[in-house]
Amino acid sequence: MNSALMIRGGRPLRGSISIQGAKNSVLPILAAAIMGEGEQVVRRCPWLSDVESTFHILRYLGCRVRREGNAVVVDPGPMDRCDIPDRLMREMRSSVVFLGAILARSGEACMSFPGGCELGPRPIDLHLSALRALGAEILETGGNLICRGRHMVGQEINLTFPSVGATENIMLAACGASGVTRVTNAAREPEIEDLQRFLRAMGAHVDGAGTSTVVIEGGHALHAAEHTILPDRIAAATYLAAAAAAGGTITVEDICPEHLSTVTSILAEAGCEIRAGHTHITLHREAPLHAMRPVRTMPYPGFPTDAQSPLMAVAARAEGATVFVENIFENRFRHVGELARMGADIKVAGRVAVVCGVSRLYGAHVCATDLRGGAALLVAALGAEGESRLTGLRHLDRGYEAPERRLAALGADVRRVEEEAGANGPAQRAAGRLCD
């Protein structure tokens, strides 16, 4: 039995929405939780399939994990393993961040190469070379990584690209190394700062997150801590894009507006009215949309690659042509063919997509090809005429917490159904669950 979203477009969105905890923050923080003594409490933990996959890894390692409302409590005390099997590693790309955490805690680790969305080559060479610089011995054999690092020593590490995952892995591993590690050309994303806040709460000595230089003084005992995950800026960008596509007025609350400045400036250029407060952003869109300046994805503080797909769905209805240049992932345009089913006019050449806005999009049966591509299809369906059926929700559920419930609260006509495949096509019935 599979799930689908049934979306009837053309209904303006109105109201307020509170944003979930950040997917790209909670995953490395849950990995970091294994490094301290005592129970680690992580608040505003979103209900996502990627988070559930992380729980599976933690429990396999021997940790105790329990939910208490929107909080998760991790007790790493019983942890008695330092390996992660292939079946768990394949569930998500972010699982590789456990490498640094396990090395810091156990001095050895064994795991396969990670899985996740198929967005093109995303080598972990930067992760491995950095850990080797700290003194870890890493053997790559048969698709597995066998690592030993009981005597890691802090070093100067210069990243050739500001990789978020590599920066996180270095921060975690360096907490278990002796001496000082200085990372230059580090990723500057807000999620890196959030990881630093959690590590500091545990007693780690980490400074500089949010800048291009992060300094970690290793060798300090880590203890129990409590931490609240920062709001998910990509989820906020997606709901703002949904309101831009469907029209109406919404307020996304409990967020950091400065984390979304590159997104809101593009939406304003498209004809949306944007008002930002200290912890909220209000978007109003009534007039027709028009084309935006070229959108080029870049590491933070540039335009986020994860917001590119939802913004492309907005551009599909904007008068004129908008150019998207993808500088991070090679296969970030896999959703374009599905948007074309709805009537979008998009031409792709390598890492460049030219979106020629059309006056109308039409409901269609579309399938999510990856997490953010699924968000783009949802955004497009909300602004389309007629009904759309969105399948492939296993991708969408990796990063969005009950999107149908949140959108319905804003006035959207969207519901999740369960489908049973039959000889004459899927038979649908309303689903009582929010997740597959």
280 CB-near residues (< 8 Å, 6+ apart): 251, 252, 253, 254, 255, 257
Decide: 33 and 40 in contact? Cβ < 8 Å: yes
Give me the amino acid identity at 131.
Answer: L
Decide: 298 and 270 in contact? Cβ < 8 Å: no
Q: Is 117 a catalytic residue?
A: yes
Distance set, CA 94 to CA 22, 309, 373 (Å): 13, 20, 18
Please identify which of the residues 117, 147, 175, 367 carries the catalytic annotation.
117
Dihedral sign for Cα atoms in the order 218, 224, 228, 229: positive
CA 73 from centroid of its chain's CA atoms: 21
Residue spans of beta strands (DSSP E) within 51-170: 64-68, 71-75, 83-84, 108-112, 137-141, 144-148, 156-158
Cβ neighbour number for residue 217 with a 10 Å cutoff: 17
Of 329, 361, 365, 324, residue with least CA distance to 344:
361
Give strand pairing partners of 325. Answer: 296, 352
Structure tokens at 186: 């580090």
Ramachandran angles phi, psi of 6, nearest 5°: -100, 120
Number of alpha carbons in the 13 Å side-chain half-sphere of residue 205: 15
| Active-site residue set | 117
